Amino acid sequence: MKTVINFLLTGFFCLVFSPTLNAQSAIPAANWDRSLALSVVREADTMALLKPLLQMTRSGNDAELLEALSSVERDPAMPDPVKDFVIFTFAIGLGDLDANTVNPEVLHFLATYKVKTMVSHIDHPRMDVPLFNVRAATAGVQNRWDRQHASMLAEGLLQTQPEQWISAYLKASPVERMGFVDAIDFASTEQLNQLGWSALARLDGQPELTVVATRAGMASGDPELLQQAISRGDGPGLSQALADASLDLSDREAADLLNAVLRSGSTRNSALAISQLAPSRLDHPAMAEMLFDTLDDRSLGAAAALVLGASQDPKIQLRLKEIASGKDGLSQQRAKLAISTRPTDRGVEK
């Protein structure tokens, strides 16, 4: 039993002590020593307290569940750290259940629960934080359920015209949009093509559709759709799309994508594509050659130089030295830049 409690305490540690999640409107002062509070929790039979709460949740008896949670909070014989841990662990457990498993009143109780055990932050002793942040855990559950619900809605909308899907996506919250994107993985090739090209047509005016167009392009295996979406995309979705593409595409496909973006004329997108697609693929001849050809580009040469300079490949380093010692020009200057940015030349053939 104590092993389970220790596991729970360790598993939730990062969530509990996150400075961002611990922000509250009025944070009371520390009233417990952390080690002592955790010791009190370990000594208590918290599983015996949690088991009936979970049973009530599965049976759908929300009124009884709400009363049981309130009883835990009001119990004068139960130490405050144990109360907080039980409520916190229960809230975390809801995240593994289907969306809206419990009545909104239960979530309201958890979201407004006043944590009773405050401790000094582990890294910033002058900052006082909840030992078990029930409100943060509840917010995480609500976000997960909102995303799950949005994903189910999006799957249904895939059966309709793509414009309806896109309109619903644009009206959705950031969390709900993640659910919409999740649903793309369950679409048919025909649905992906319709959705992806429809999103691409609106990309210039609504760059937030970048993640939709790029995800549809990758999921459908349509290189032209993916290349255009990356070349014309914008916003935070672009960087994530390139990171995903770097993991999913073959070396040849990644080289073709980078070539298409370089030819698009978008300096910003090209520089981002170089930084995301090229570093792990410099052993692919087409990829390395593209970067060497880009050294004399006035806008992108520096980006190519930084990637080439970080390579541990002796052949690449030798070629950079040859260019650096050659005819004066942008390529020579960028090659010198590449060499100068290397932290050390050890292990590179002279």
Q: What is the pLDDT of residue 348?
A: 44
Q: What is the pLDDT of residue 29?
A: 78
Q: What is the pLDDT of residue 27?
A: 59
Closest CA to 335 of 343, 323, 348: 323
Tokens of 140: 């995480």
**Cα(259)–Cα(291) distance, integer angstroms:** 10
Q: What is the pLDDT of residue 31?
A: 84
Q: What is the pLDDT of residue 349?
A: 43
Q: How many CB atoms lie within 10 A of CB 192?
A: 23
Q: How many CB atoms lie within 10 A of CB 33?
A: 11
Q: What is the pLDDT of residue 26?
A: 54
Tokens of 337: 């830049």
Q: Estimate to the nearest angstrom the gap between the alpha carbon of 135 and the chain centroid.
A: 21
CB 40 within 8 A of CB 79: yes
What Å distances lie between residue 206 and 178, 190, 209, 212, 218, CA to CA? 17, 23, 6, 11, 20
**Cα(342)–Cα(335) distance, integer angstroms:** 11
**Burial class for 78, CB neighbours closer than 10 Å (0-12, 13-18, 19+):** middle
Tokens of 283: 């052993």
What Å distances lie between residue 205 and 198, 199, 200, 274, CA to CA? 13, 10, 10, 25
Q: What is the pLDDT of residue 343?
A: 63
Q: What is the pLDDT of residue 342?
A: 73
Q: Estimate to the nearest angstrom the gap between the alpha carbon of 167 and the chain centroid.
A: 24
Q: How many CB atoms lie within 10 A of CB 284?
A: 16
Q: What are phi and psi of 324, to 5 degrees?
A: -65, -30
At 205 the three-state DSSP class reads: coil
b (16+ CB within 10 A) / e for 324-337: beeeeeebbbbbbb
CB 201 within 8 A of CB 174: no
pLDDT along the chain (350 residues), means of 10: 46 46 56 91 93 91 93 94 95 88 92 92 84 94 94 95 96 96 95 97 94 96 96 91 92 96 94 95 94 95 95 94 91 92 54
**What does the domain layout of the chain look like in residue ranges?**
2-143, 284-350
What Å distances lie between residue 126 and 32, 122, 227, CA to CA? 14, 10, 51
Tokens of 218: 């990758």
What Å distances lie between residue 173 and 64, 146, 198, CA to CA? 33, 9, 21
Q: What is the pLDDT of residue 120?
A: 87
At 303 the three-state DSSP class reads: helix
**Cα(209)–Cα(166) distance, integer angstroms:** 8
Per DSSP, helices labelled H in 295-348 are: 301-309, 314-324, 330-340
